Amino acid sequence: MRALFDAHRHKTIATLRADGSPRISGIEAVFEDGELVFGSMQAARKGADLLRDPRFALHSGTVDPIEGAEAQWPGEAKISGLAIPSRPAADAPDGDRFLTDITDVVHTHLNQAATMLVVQWWTPAHGLQQIERG
């Protein structure tokens, strides 16, 4: 999971607008001392969304499987949770900075034979689970 998030600088985050409808935005997110953190520029809508309703879903960058080498596709990763306001980042003191309380993690990839989709997910309450879809 961590490697998928670290592989690409840009990710996509989903937040909730004031009317409850979804908003997706590009974002940079990093792990600092084992904590997932991200920021928002001053007066950005995604920051305002998170300050009002801290629920978010974050999607890693992804690439298409290479034809003939599908089994080597690393897949994609998703993290959901709550964004917790934190101190401003030193390099962006006028923006918002958030730590995360992760509620679930999903890794989607192919099995070794590249014949089935493998979905692994983790939650604090149920630990790691997996299903395969053909």
Domains in the chain, CATH or no CATH each: 2-105 (2.30.110.10)
**Which pTM value belongs to this model?**
0.88
The per-residue pLDDT for range 88-105, each reduced to its tens digit, is 656 556 788 999 999 999
Using only C-alpha atoms, the chain has a radius of gyration, in whole angstroms, of: 16
Q: What is the pLDDT of residue 95?
A: 81
State the 10-residue block means of pLDDT for the chain, 134 residues long.
88 97 95 92 92 97 89 94 83 81 96 95 97 94
Q: What is the pLDDT of residue 1?
A: 83
For 111, residues 6+ apart whose C-beta sits below 8 A from its C-beta are 71, 117, 118, 132
Q: What is the pLDDT of residue 123?
A: 97
